[in-house]
Amino acid sequence: MNRRSFLTQLSLAAAGAPLLNAGEFTGRIYKAVKVTMIRGKISTLDKFKIARDAGFDGISLFAPDRFDLMESLSAQDKTGVRIHNVNGSYHWKERLSDADPKVRDKAVQNLKDSIQFSHDCGGDSVLLVNGKVTNEKTENHEHVRARSSEGIRKAIPLASRLGVRILCENVGNGFCPDAKQWADYLDSFDSPWVGAFFDIGNHHGLGGAPHWIRTLGDRTVKIDVKDRNLERDKNCNLFDGNVDWVKVRSALKDVGFNGWATAEVGGGDAKRMKQVAERMDLALGL
């Protein structure tokens, strides 16, 4: 479904007609927003309020060193918007795959600190970009595989003890661009505490999001939601790209997906957040 179809559906809804497949995933998929999408120099509490009023069930924070724990917990309690996930603050700069072992040690500690913060907030996952292919000699594909595997294994005991899953994402990092290859990497940990945080827009440019969803199956624990303009090879707002949301929902249904879907598109004010939530409802059948 493209943007024109989206606008047509909104027109029908305004006239009292039901949205296409509306409610198909109600009670199975819950909407969240990345906190950085809510713009403006406002308090954490006010950002949670905007998320709540827009219709989001949850929010994703960043750690370590980005948010005050008590302030975050207070905002969660006052609004009912759950902190379901924490994204790594530094996994692009301080990478598990870095050639310098001191940087890798720092990346492991960052991961552990993020796991601890997610647990303390009541979250049950951290999103981790597990490395980046930057140089054929010092940080190639095999380096990323070996070094990130070693680092993640060091954090699994803490993840297991606290009940927080390490959800890996391969986004623009040159690692495992094939769905089967990515599935095999995740399986290599042989741990229920390591899975995938699947990004619909990013992977649509790598053979189609439905193909990836079906290949990964229950390895996918949570999803990021954005669209993809294949002509420009750029991620974009929902219904401004080439993702076929009917096929995406079919694939999610086939693998029995249940859980959190987090918006990751252009941000803005309260009005913008309501627009994002509205498009997520239509795209995901909520």
Question: Phi, psi (5° rounding) for residue 220?
Answer: -80, 120
Domain covering 28-280, topology: TIM Barrel (3.20.20)
pLDDT tens-digit profile of 44-68? 999 999 999 999 999 999 999 999 9
pLDDT tens-digit profile of 111-168? 999 999 999 999 999 999 999 999 999 999 999 999 999 999 999 999 999 999 999 9
Percent of the chain exceeding pLDDT 70 equals 92
List the domain boundaries for the chain.
28-280
pLDDT at 21: 57
Across all residues in the chain, what is the average pLDDT?
A: 93
- Pick the residue with more confidence: 3 or 45? 45
Residues 251-276: what's their mean pLDDT? 97
Lowest mean pLDDT among 1-10, 76-85, 95-104, 213-222: 1-10
- Pick the residue with more confidence: 54 or 206? 54
- DSSP for the chain, written as a single string: --HHHHHHHHHHHHTTPPPTTTTTTBTTEEEEEEGGGB-SS--HHHHHHHHHHHT-SEEEEEESSSS-HHHHHHHHHHH--EEEEEEESSTTTS-TT-SSHHHHHHHHHHHHHHHHHHHHHT--EEEE------BTTTB-HHHHHHHHHHHHHHHHHHHHHHT-EEEE--SSSSS--SHHHHHHHHHTT--TTEEEEEEHHHHHTTT-HHHHHHHHGGGEEEEEE-EEETTTTEEESTTSSS--HHHHHHHHHHTT--EEEEE-S--BSHHHHHHHHHHHHHHHT-
